Structure 1
Amino acid sequence: MGIYLRGKSWYYDFVHHGARYVGSFGPVPRSVAKEELARKKAAVLETRLNPAKARKSPRLDTFADDYLTWAHANCKPLTVHRAQRTLARFTAFVGPTKRLNEVTPWNFEQWKRTRKEAGKAPGTINTELLTLKSIFAKAKAWGKLSEHPGASVKLLQNPRQKIRFLSEDEEVRLLAVCSPALRRVVHVGLLTGFRRQELISLRLEDVDMNDGTVSVAACYAKNGESRTLPIGPRLRAVLQDALTASGSAATVLVNALGLPWSRNTLGGQFRAACQAAGIGSLGLHVLRHTFASRLTMAGVDLKTTQELMGHKSIEMTLRYAHLSPQHRRSAMETLEARFSAPSPATFHNTPSPTPAREAEKQTAA
């Protein structure tokens, strides 16, 4: 029979080798019920083929511990942090005692809805979904799961928003309310375009005052590739001040206590400073947006901007190929000042009559 609807719930009913299997999927969409039916049949088939080798699927919390142990040894710190945070939330949501093979596509859909109701942005929800998809794909690859429950779950539509960057006035107001420790981070972020993880992970050996360069280690870069930027006079002064303040710390940028910044502490203090400056509740990534936007407005070509930003593809850099309204207005004023002669009334390509031609016409007349 397959699946059928009774009231608001979907039920399944099928026979395999003389044994009848019936049950309910609950009030789920029809597409989810069909996927669950396929999972049920696959589970029955696997048990029939390998009854002696049939293993009980691990609990979600147990697998989470195993996965994070593997991730610590094989992934970048930022990836581990994201996986740990997402797994903790998802495990608490579906229940830590639930087994891997009991997680359904409907659990993923409910997770999406709950996160959206919590006010999370589509981009944030999609990042969490991709993290969960990757984790469950690894469970399937390790033989702990026969079917990936989130394989068919779609990401949310995420319209590209206008990129926010700081004006010069906003920069002045922000720096005025920052503590000395936070002010150093803001300066370095504006002058290098480093991401948050790259800023808090900047080590003493990454700064070479003799060669005049500052580098991002590959293990802390988002794309896994190191990059090196030249140090200008303003950035040199900021880094020298930061190196003096860091003392014996392992990182260049430290908090007010002389300790390395944590992601959450730095993000929270920066957001509070933005609110105090009256420029809105902004995340630290606005410094990176500002760096790229100012490069563009200064006339730096996109290829150079791509290299300085550490983008693998030019498509990412094109997101920053925009100008501020003031810059556009200035460009239009320059255009009008350069080509200010009025256009002929007859046709825009008709050359204006010269005095010599006018004299010829009068003589001929």
Structure 2
Amino acid sequence: MIKQKLIESFSEEGTPAVSLHTLITKHLLALKAKGVAQGTYDDKTLAFAELLSWPGVSPVMPVAELKHDKVREFLDHIAQTRSGHRANTFRKHIVRLWNWAKRSRIVLGDCPWDVEMYKADRGDKYVPSEADFWKVYEMADQVRRPFHKLNGETEAQPHRKRMLLAYLHTGARRGEVFDLRWSDVDFAGQRIRLWTRKRTSGLEGDWIPMTEQLAAALKEQRLETGFREHVFINPKTDEPYAYGNDMVRDMCAVAGVKAFSFHAIRHLTASMLDKAGVPLATIQLILRHKSVTTTARYIHSLKDARKAVEQTFGGRILEMKKASSE
């Protein structure tokens, strides 16, 4: 009987009359219950929100009405206006939405939204120089963004300097600062706790030292947020930040430097610690890497490698040149 009702609820194409909004909501609730990382959850939410606002797509439209060509048109736009990598990320979220629904017996058949992957040559991640970072830092609180597109009102956002300092002094991942709560800031013990799911499937918190400069900045931030749970609040939404790479790109543009991401600051932190002579094991502790090999990749230091190849091959090249001239 139950099976028969399930079959009757499906259209002839094998997809139900459930709306896109309902399907996406069910999927996101399932992810929350599973304990998915907040950064992943926020990224999926962003992708689905942009898809639902795409011309020709409506939250109330049945799942079966969202055709392959419409999804391709949307993803083509993302690839052209942002990057192939970003389009592939959105594609992944959309395809996984269908696959989850299929496992949950909400839809039947192969995914009709499986667009081919886009060319995405990410190359090496750009890591800003210390000079460029401080240029952005000095201009951060001078950035003005439209608060309302119709009347052109603007507002200052002085918390941005404090946020940039938090990234630099902790080496935190983007989502770790966005999700930072006041319960994770210990002024008396001069330490800060960052939570991650990177090392295990569960959520783990690590206490790391908090510099005096960062402590002073966060005390100022405390006065601004009052009794709010999160340390940093997006003034546009009055909620914690979910996706902020556009924000840091805007700051880079105002400062006149090459755009970088919040995660690039994590690499810069590692490089600055290495330059200061901090042992690799200590840098690993600060960055909270499971493997010291991962930490080594963050440092971007070729001092030992350059010395080794110079000692091995440098003299031989001179000898070969001398021998060929004789």
TM-score of the aligned structures, taking structure 2 as reference length: 0.68
- TM-superposed CA distance for 1:95, in Å, is 3.2
Give the partner amino acid of 2:49.
Answer: A
Superposed, which structure 2 residues align to 1:46-61 within 5 Å? 53-56=7-10, 57=16, 58-61=18-21
Q: Whose Rg is larger? A: 1
- TM-superposed CA distance for 1:177, in Å, is 1.8
The residue that corresponds to 1:184 in the other structure is: 162
1:88 pairs, out of 20, 41, 49, with: 49
Partners of 1:95 and 1:162 lie apart in 2 by 36
The residue that corresponds to 2:217 in the other structure is: 238
The residue that corresponds to 1:204 in the other structure is: 182
The residue that corresponds to 2:256 in the other structure is: 278
Partners of 2:8 and 2:132 lie apart in 1 by 63
Partners of 2:226 and 2:93 lie apart in 1 by 37
Instruction: Show CA shifts across 1:91-127 (max 9, x none).
Output: 454633654355565555444323223x221221122
- TM-superposed CA distance for 1:139, in Å, is 0.5
2:95 pairs, out of 126, 130, 133, with: 133
**Larger relative contact order, structure 1 or 2 (CA cutoff 8 Å, min sep 6):** 2
Instruction: Show CA shifts across 1:265-288 (max 9, x none).
Output: x65554333222211343333322
Instruction: Show CA shifts across 1:26-74 (max 9, x none).
Output: xxxxxxxxxxxxxxxxxxxxxxx97994422123233223334444544
**2:280–2:295 CA contact under 8 A, matched in 1:** yes
Gaps of 5+ in 1: 1-48, 349-365
The residue that corresponds to 1:63 in the other structure is: 23
**1:250–1:260 CA contact under 8 A, matched in 2:** no
The residue that corresponds to 1:262 in the other structure is: 241
| Worse overlay, 306-315 or 158-167 | 306-315
The residue that corresponds to 2:269 in the other structure is: 291
- TM-superposed CA distance for 1:250, in Å, is 2.5
Give the partner amino acid of 1:188.
Answer: A
**2:174–2:263 CA contact under 8 A, matched in 1:** yes
Task: State the identity as a percent.
Answer: 21
Change (3 A) 1:263 1:63: closer
| SS at 2:298 equivalent | coil
- TM-superposed CA distance for 1:195, in Å, is 2.8
**1:182–1:270 CA contact under 8 A, matched in 2:** no
- TM-superposed CA distance for 1:206, in Å, is 0.6
Partners of 1:295 and 1:306 lie apart in 2 by 10
**1:164–1:286 CA contact under 8 A, matched in 2:** yes
The residue that corresponds to 1:159 in the other structure is: 121
Give the partner amino acid of 2:63.
Answer: L
Change (3 A) 1:156 1:243: same
Instruction: Show CA shifts across 1:207-257 (max 9, x none).
Output: 223433211235899974323212234434434444455443333345789
**1:267–1:283 CA contact under 8 A, matched in 2:** yes
- TM-superposed CA distance for 1:290, in Å, is 1.5
Partners of 1:121 and 1:163 lie apart in 2 by 14
Partners of 1:255 and 1:185 lie apart in 2 by 11
| SS at 1:217 equivalent | strand
| Worse overlay, 54-63 or 71-80 | 71-80
Give the partner amino acid of 1:83.
Answer: K
